[in-house]
Structure 1
Amino acid sequence: MKVLAARRRDAEDIRFLVDHLKLHNADAVVALCAQVFPEEPVPDRARMISERSGAGRLGRGRSYDGGHD
């Protein structure tokens, strides 16, 4: 829900979630949102805020690829 809202004030919460879920890039964040909220369109700004919140960083063991563990 934080990513779908994509508000600047949510950036710290999104950063925490990205790290906690080990999301490896913005595509993984958007894919997870689409999976969890299939009826909600994922706005373009969601990708931007995801990248700014750290999902675009390389390394650090990011492993989520949109599938199930």
Structure 2
Amino acid sequence: MTFRYTLEGATGTVRMAAAGRGVFTGTLGPLAAPKQSSRIPIEVTAVDAAGNATTSARPAYVTLYNYCTPG
């Protein structure tokens, strides 16, 4: 499973790991602190054991706030 994001024209793809009970995790970043808060669209792609892939029909959004402390 992977997710793809776009921020300020740059696109990244991150592999996700199974965390159990149908939950998958992945790390978005490192990202530079933005001058203003940004909504980052994320599309998730899942591939089954047979190699069939599907991507989310609509993106989910993560908000990167400009006042968060790194770390």
Please classify the TM superposition score into its range, dividing by the shorter chain length: under 0.3
When the two structures are superposed, what TM-score results if normalisation uses the length of structure 2?
A: 0.27
Q: Which of the pair is proportionally richer in strand?
A: 2
Bigger relative contact order, structure 1 or 2 (CA pairs below 8 A, ≥6 apart): 1
Q: TM-score normalised to the size of structure 1?
A: 0.27
Greater C-alpha Rg:
2
